[in-house]
Structure 1
Amino acid sequence: MAEAVAETEQKTTAEAVEDALRVYEVGYHIAPTVKDEEVEKVVGGIRAAIEKSGGSFIAEGAPSLLKLAYQIEVRENGKRTRYDRAHFGWIKFEVTTEGAKAVSHAVKNEKDIIRSLVFRTVREDTRAKMKAPTLREVKRTDTIRSSVRRGEAAEKGPVSEEQLDAALDVLTAD
């Protein structure tokens, strides 16, 4: 009897953890062949999938056309297509674990999305802040003068064959 009660409590705790809202983010690449007007419709489909699964929006990065670090190969209509550019965007949202699975499935089934990733994250803003470089003014009080080269100081006139042979003998005598 005690084992049945403990097992029921464990199931209830597991269900409570599954039903808890968690923060997720979906990052996606939309094919560059999709027109700018149509990109918003694709993003609307992702938003609809999030709302359908009971999620709420936290933040969003609007899709923009970017050059990819490497080509992505996708099978379309029975042939391979390679893309070196894509519209990249992201949406941060809060939903249950089951809802996140549903969103991931919906995004993967969208024909215009060539790559996507749904992952668990934190609510806080995690984007890196860009700092503008600070320029320092450098004041010079001394004038910069060129130093005398050692080779030029030694030269006083043309070198004869005998002087050259003597210098070579000294160097090769070791």
Structure 2
Amino acid sequence: MSSEDIQEQQDNEFEALKAIYVDDVRDLRNSAWNIWHPLKFSLTLTPQQGSTDEANARVDLLVTCSDRYPFEVPQLGICNEKGISKEEAQLLLKGLQKEAQKHVGNAMVFDLSMYVQEFLFEHRKPSETSFYEQMIQRQQQQQLKEQAKLDQEASKCLFFFRKMQFKSVK
């Protein structure tokens, strides 16, 4: 494949990523003098869309491609991790490198981003609720307890009322 074909493939992949991830993609290439450079960008990723606690976990995936990408695995990095430990971030990076090997010869960044999102979904930590949310939860629990107590008392009263009715019928 010619260098022009590789450039076009990298540019097309980057445009597709920008269309999918919009503001979460940042081009890190030095584009002075309008000279083409291989892909170098960061992509902010959260757990899979539609999952609960989506924003509780997040990482920036750093991708640096050579002028031979996609026929070489790009350099990958993880930074600004939130909601996962450093050890989990290292585990994610190792998994990403293995995943990238499977896609050599093809555009792979979208597949790698999906891998990251799945990883974040599986390893995210539950979000901590604010004091206000905790207070509301306690109030709701207290209301439920009070309602259960009232229901129990009403049930007792109904039982005695029916018992009295039954005695008066005899």
Q: TM-score, normalised by structure 1?
A: 0.26
Over alpha carbons, which structure has the higher Rg? 1
Q: Which has a greater percent of helix?
A: 2
Higher strand proportion (structure 1 or 2):
1
TM-score normalised by structure 2 residue count: 0.27
| Higher RCO (C-alpha under 8 Å, 6+ residues apart) | 1
